[in-house]
Amino acid sequence: MTQPAAIDMADMTWPPPPYQAPVPPVTDEHGIRRYDGITYATTPGYRPRLLDVQVPPGEGPFPAVVWIHGGGWMDGDRRYPPPTVPAALLHGSVLGAGLALVSIDYRHSLEAPFPAQLHDVKAAIRYVRTFAGDLGIDPDRIGVWGESAGGHLAALAGLVGPDSADGEALEGAHGVGSGDTRVRAVVDWYGVSDLVALSAHPMPELPLPPGVEFPDPYVALLGAPVAERPDLAKAASPVTHATPGSNPPPFLLIHGREDGLVPYSQSELLAAALVEAEGEVTLQPVEAADHIFLGSPDVPRIVADSVAFLARHLAP
């Protein structure tokens, strides 16, 4: 009978740290190393925040892309892109370009209102940078990519820093607790950019099963209507942080022209703010596409363009 491994009591601390170090990866038949379900942050009373890492074959260290899922800040899962984007396409394109992929979960808005979601994204970036050597990642070449609610969080991750407005409060101190959270590039698919402007846009009717109610995502995110928390709504808006002197990283914004959930004008507002901030920004419309690029036949090209943008800006 196999005996359990001995525990070195001298290495134990109490309370334990609010994260767990990476365990050895599983390597698949293609040489891709996988670290699944790493706990990058814990907070008493909340589920542990998890991330998955996939590292391409080779010696590395590799640049990394942090993928942030959507779902109206109330739903979603690090493992699944939107239904219009097959996971095999997204993951395979990133790894095929020689980039590591870090997929993260974060607290949903009905668990904890903003800025909890941004705190978790920042904690994930700090974690990856802290354990970059164990993961085979280059800590100086990290980008972020998100869709919908995740696009909003990716934009904030690229624009908010310790020196930005409300920077200390928005950075948070979860997980590793401190460290550099800057990123080299941002891809934002149809994310919210200005919550105050968007509050005038009526939410479309969503087809739901009988008896199911879908809370207003903006009220859930802020914990109250925008009109009751204008300062928090402003702090949660990426346009607030794209200001002259903010030195934003390069941005790629891709948005469906016919998006009925998050209007295309939201990406136009962010693009204009980034230009005003003297940042590099590309705004790429997707003609005849609704939210999650529904109705577009060009999803493979959109993914390819996004990966090429990240590979270019994360190059040595």
Catalytic residues: 148, 259, 291
- CB of 120 closer than 8 Å to CB of 104: yes
Helix segments in the chain, DSSP class H? 87-96, 116-130, 132-135, 149-159, 167-171, 195-198, 217-222, 230-235, 238-241, 265-276, 299-313
154/152 Cα distance (integer angstroms): 5
List all residues 6 or more positions away from 265 whose beta carbon is below 8 Å from its beta carbon. Answer: 197
234/236 Cα distance (integer angstroms): 5
260/172 Cα distance (integer angstroms): 33
- CB of 282 closer than 8 Å to CB of 253: yes
Dihedral of the CA atoms 117, 118, 120, 122 (nearest 10)?
Answer: 170
316/111 Cα distance (integer angstroms): 39
- CB of 249 closer than 8 Å to CB of 282: no
